[in-house]
Amino acid sequence: MRPPMSQRLLALALVLPALLTILLFFVAPLGASVTGAFSLDGDFTLSNFGKSFELYSSDILFTLCIAGLSTGVIGALAVSIGGYLTLGENPLAVAVLRWLYRWPLFIPFIVVGQILRTFLARNGLMNNILIAGGLLTPLQTTSFLDWRGIVIAFVWKQTPFVALLVAGAMASVDRGTLEAARNLGASRLRILLEILLPQVYTTLAVGLILSFVTMMSVLSVPLMINAQSPTMLTADIAFRINAYGDYGVANALGLISLLMTAGAAAIYLRHAARERAR
């Protein structure tokens, strides 16, 4: 039975504020940005994309590689941390790790960039420690303020977030399933990879995709750590707008990042759907 007209109007009135907020502050700006990517002086054109690929194709590739590599390293570290928190048998080590690993969560990206800039520079703290420890001579030192610095910053900042999600999911796995494997003779590494990880795979994937999207949108880290070319798309977008007021190319680059993150989400959704169908 259909509800009476007055009730349907009431329902519409109830969702209207939320709907308007989304339309006004999210859909409209996104739409303007998308159409802006396809227009030059009011005409429809693909020239913004042509220029983007001509000038920035190495940066697009660089961005994809940096975000992809960081995501991989974050995943490996988050699984290791979550695995140790779940399977570790030294209560003190588990307690210390549980207390320590979340700290970077509360530090903003710009501060991470700042900290690592002084840490990773050629005459920075890391190299000074290595020299003091006799592991390097001053001549052998190199600066890590390039792509490696960005990856280190992203991993440092995002691992706790994914580890938090993964550790939570791991803690809610039936311990009997872990004990059953142990009982049959499985080592802890095998239990982590073959029993625990498959049961938290969805959570890990969600955490990694959210991290991937976050990293794609960080401007401060590439600006502070990697002030050279190639760099990440966020730096290029800021440069197009600040230096040239070129919103067309900036919008096109934005749309390209959006397609990259959407691609990551699509891969995950397809995989999840296949898992469910099995």
Partner 1 sequence: MSDPAFLQIRDLTVGYGGNRVLDALSLEVCEGEFVALLGASGCGKTTLLRTIAGFADPSEGEVVLAGSDITRRPPDRRGMALVFQSYALWPHMTVAQTIGYGLKLRRVAKPEIARRVAEMQALLGLEGLQERKPAQLSGGQRQRVALGRALAIEPQVLLLDEPLSNLDARVRLTLRHEIRALQSRLGITAVHVTHDREEAMVMADRIVLIDRGRIAQAGTPDRVYNHPASAFVAAFMGAENVLELRGTVTGQDVHLAAGAANAPAAVPVHGRNLTSGRFEARFRSEAAVLLPADAAPVDGALDLVGVVRTVSYPGGLWRHLVVIGDRDIHVDAAVAHPPGTPVTVRVPSSALFLFDAAPTASPPPSSP
For the CB of residue 86, give the shortest distance to partner 1 in the complex, in Å: 15
For 206, other C-beta atoms within 10 Å of its C-beta total 17
189-208 positions binding partner 1, by CB under 8 A: 190, 195, 198-199, 201
Among 181, 213, 223, 238, binds partner 1 (CB under 8 A): 181
Q: Greatest CA span in the chain, whole angstroms?
A: 82
For the CB of residue 178, give the shortest distance to partner 1 in the complex, in Å: 8
State yes or no: residue 21 binds partner 1 (CB under 8 A): no
For 102, other C-beta atoms within 10 Å of its C-beta total 14
For the CB of residue 199, give the shortest distance to partner 1 in the complex, in Å: 6
The residue type found at 254 is G
Helix (H, G, I), strand (E, B) or coil at 134: coil
92-131 positions binding partner 1, by CB under 8 A: none
Among 17, 133, 176, 245, binds partner 1 (CB under 8 A): 176
In the chain, where does DSSP find H-type helix? Answer: 5-22, 28-37, 47-87, 91-100, 109-120, 125-132, 147-171, 175-184, 188-190, 197-216, 220-225, 233-239, 247-277
State yes or no: residue 277 binds partner 1 (CB under 8 A): no
State yes or no: residue 183 binds partner 1 (CB under 8 A): yes
Residue environment code for 40-62, b if the CB has 16+ CB neighbours within 10 A, otherwise e:
eeeeeeeebbebbeeebeebbeb
Tokens of 49: 């994309």
State yes or no: residue 139 binds partner 1 (CB under 8 A): no
Task: Indicate the residue among 22 and 180 with the shorter CB distance to partner 1.
Answer: 180
CA pair distance 201, 181, nearest whole angstrom:
18
The residue range among 51-59, 135-143, 177-185, 218-226 that interacts with partner 1, by the rule CB under 8 A, is 177-185
Among 132, 174, 243, 274, binds partner 1 (CB under 8 A): 174
Task: Indicate the residue among 3 and 185 with the shorter CB distance to partner 1.
Answer: 185
Among 13, 18, 132, 184, binds partner 1 (CB under 8 A): 184
Among 25, 76, 179, 244, binds partner 1 (CB under 8 A): 179
* Residue 164 neighbours by CB under 8 Å, 6+ apart: 102, 105
The residue range among 3-11, 127-135, 150-158, 169-177 that interacts with partner 1, by the rule CB under 8 A, is 169-177
Among 148, 182, 213, 223, binds partner 1 (CB under 8 A): 182
First to last CA, the chain: 36
State yes or no: residue 177 binds partner 1 (CB under 8 A): yes
What does each C-alpha distance from 232 to 60, 114, 163, 252 come to in angstroms? 7, 17, 25, 14
Task: Indicate the residue among 201 and 268 with the shorter CB distance to partner 1.
Answer: 201
Residues that bind partner 1 (CB under 8 A): 174, 176-177, 179-187, 190, 195, 198-199, 201, 278
